[in-house]
Amino acid sequence: MSERRVCRVLGQHRSTQRRLPQGRADEGRLVSDMIELTRQYGRYGYRRIAALLRDAGWMVNDKRVERLWRREGLKVPMKQPKKGRLWLNDGSCVRLRPRYRNHVWSYDFVHHRTDDGKSFRTLNILDEHSRECLAIRVKRKLNSTEVIDALTDLFILRGVPAYIRSDNGPEFIAQAVRDWIAAVGAKTAYIEPGSPWENGYCESFNARFRDELLNGEVFYTLREAQIIIEEWRKHYNTKRPHSALGYRPPAPEAIVPMEPRLIMH
């Protein structure tokens, strides 16, 4: 059946069948804003996104947003897994934020192997406020006694922090460690079991530590690992730019100018 006869039967002008649809001039900006809102609010459908667009000043209805939504292949993702939180009786979520140096320290273990296949562990200790790595102890085995010994050295050099944050590993929750930390005047801040994001500062450091050093080095002996890891720790503290600190190192080296000496003639 010809186009002319179909249009005559339907009572529709033939020019409407040949007119190509043209998008509006602001469609590119609208799509950009819509995608940005979708990134921020991944669980929202097109109706809520349309409401947010109108709140932002766009004169747009749900139908137009739905058309663009489908064209861009957007959809609400599958239901996300639930995450546990630690709540007080009044409904407020517990989040201990570091406010100054020596306010909150955190520590954690990282496992690795030397070239002969033997495993070793590192005990990483950080100041959460300054992001400085205070110490990395490297040994084949690290137990609660080693934890106390490493903290003792730091307490002598830097003083006692207000809180020490860690996961619920047996080396950290050992009664000897808890009693000793309480005896020196600090408090423990254990994260909720199965919630590593509660120890985010240390987890982030461990990821950088593994990505920038452990994954690219072959350690033939434990002593070699101890030396190279300590050199990397010093570089991390004094030279490596940290994005959270405005791309400055956590503890840059201070240069003290030498006073000119008088030369006696």
Q: Annotate 45-71 with DSSP letters as a single string.
A: -HHHHHHHHHHTT----HHHHHHHHHH
Arithmetic mean of pLDDT, 94-113: 87
- Mean pLDDT, the chain, rounded, equals 83
> Whole-angstrom Cα distance, residue 5 to residue 8?
5
Q: Specify the pLDDT at position 162.
A: 93
Q: How far apart are CA 139 and CA 119, in angstroms?
A: 9
Partners of 188 in the beta sheet?
A: 164
Question: Sign of the CA dihedral 225, 230, 235, 237?
Answer: positive
The residues facing 151 across adjacent strands are none
- Residue 107 neighbours by CB distance under 10 Å: 24
Is residue 221 pLDDT above 90, yes or no? yes
Name the pLDDT band for 265 (thresholds 50, 70, 90): very low
What is the pLDDT, as a whole number, of residue 80?
Answer: 57
Q: What is the pLDDT of residue 149?
A: 92
Task: Please report the pLDDT score of residue 20 as a whole number.
Answer: 64
Q: With contact defined as beta carbons under 8 Å apart, do 139 and 121 qualify?
A: yes
Q: How many CB atoms lie within 10 A of CB 104?
A: 22
Residue 193 CB: number of other CB atoms within 10 A?
A: 9
* Structure-block tokens of residue 194: 């199965």
Ranked by mean pLDDT, the top range of 9-18, 95-104, 146-155 is 146-155
At 162-183, the pLDDT tens digits run 999 888 888 888 888 999 899 9
Give mean pLDDT, residues 39-58.
81
Give the per-residue pLDDT at 46: 86
Q: In angstroms, rounded to a whole number, what is the distance separating the alpha carbons of residues 183 and 187? A: 9
> Interior CA angle at 87 toward 84 and 93, to 5°?
95
Residue 258 is predicted with a pLDDT of 56
Instruction: Give the pLDDT band of residue 95 (cuts 50, 70, 90).
Output: low
Helices (H), 84-199: 144-158, 170-173, 175-183
User: pLDDT-derived band of residue 93, with 50, 70 and 90 as boundaries?
Assistant: very low
**Residue 92 pLDDT:** 40
- Compute the distance between CA of residue 80 and CA of residue 49 in angstroms, rounded to an integer: 19
Q: Which residue has the tokens 């349309």?
A: 50
Q: Mean pLDDT throughout 94-104? A: 83
At position 193, the amino acid (one-letter code) is P
Percent of the chain at pLDDT above 70? 85
pTM greater than 0.85? no
Q: Is 248 in contact with 241 (CB distance < 8 Å)?
A: yes
Is 70 exceeded by the pLDDT of residue 136? yes
pLDDT digits (tens, 9 = 90+) for 179-210: 989 999 999 888 777 777 778 888 889 988 99
What local confidence, expressed as pLDDT, does residue 126 receive?
94
